[in-house]
Chain A
Amino acid sequence: MQATHGLASLLFSVATALAMAFVAAPVRADDDPWPDIRRDVFDNRDIIENDGTITLDAPYRAEDAAIVPLTMRIPASIAPQVRSLTLIIDKNPAPVAATFHFGAAAGSGERMLSTRVRIDMYSNVRAVIETADGRLHMATKFVKASGGCSAPAAKDADEALASLGKMQIRTFDAAAAADRTPTAREAQVMIRHPNFTGMQMDQVSREYTPAKFVQELEVKRGGELVFRMEGGISISENPNFRFTFAPGSDDTLEVMAKDTDGRVFTATSAGKAS
């Protein structure tokens, strides 16, 4: 897809030139970056706002700008038609935080997706979905946060490096989820990864640590796609995703993550990592 390709290249080129871009051309606080983002990412297509097809939960003031929890919900009436969800943080150096492409195992019930992001300055945060008919719908929240992208990646730097690539998958069997029609289940995928932003100082070289992050994540249930994510540096350290999926004859989740160094991490909810 043209749009997907453009989006991915925006995501990576911005990330690659990040530290320099940040220093050379800081975004002025009063500039509204949204018109440019809308042109680059969505080709200036019409976007329907706040029509209830997507809702976004975000704190008005972030307690920790490096781990801001965001939750998106799509009602069951529209969920089966949703092909993708793009998460945008207007004023981050790489505004496209992630794009999620949904598959058959994403289910037809209410769809929920929750993750944690870095927010670098007071900014609008947007969740944009694209439905099968090519329409775009958006929910927007303003979040007060600062310094999320330059905050050091770890409270315990040694521990973070020692456990890189470790994955944890949980499935939740809440009664409420089982009672839904159609039934849905909820799961959480966690990956130990510093998700370096390129704006963090390296202690030895006194240079910025190059951006290094989980750029691809694929979650399948019994071989069928739940979602595939293309991610950038705005996803917090230790990327964390909680989401609904459709139960099937085999509810084993298989997860594959790939970072910008080409390292591939895999795990399944059956507990065996391969």
Chain B
Amino acid sequence: MKKIMPIVLWLLSQAAIADGNVSPIKIPDKVKAECAACHMAYQPGFLPKASWEKIMGSLDKHYGVDASLDPQSVKEISQWLTQHAGTYKRVSEVPPNNRITESSWFIRKHRKISDQTWKNPKVKSKSNCMACHAGADKGNYDDDFVRVPQ
């Protein structure tokens, strides 16, 4: 058993990486610096290319705030976002207002979350992934890591 332990551990780690709810994407420093200055840097796979294009084309009116950037940064970040945008069926549909939280898959995944939880000041907004998914910024949305604040 001792001999195969490393192999078992390796297999387990591979299983975790392969989990559908883990999105281990390396976010470039530039994207982190600009997007995560105000909110978690959401994984690009959560929105289709068309949504990222619209978002990056209207940063001066970004969900109620002015998030305008210099043209070079807009270009660089857009390129990365659209290159890694969601392509599988669930995400290919443009959600209302280009909001991750208004995507049909998001609504379905969170259908058991009560209004009370959403209104908890520790949650505050549906866009606050980290309130319950502590590893969200690392791409970990696995149910086993969810801790809903009380």
A and B held together in a complex: no
**Which residues of B does A touch, CB under 8 Å?**
none
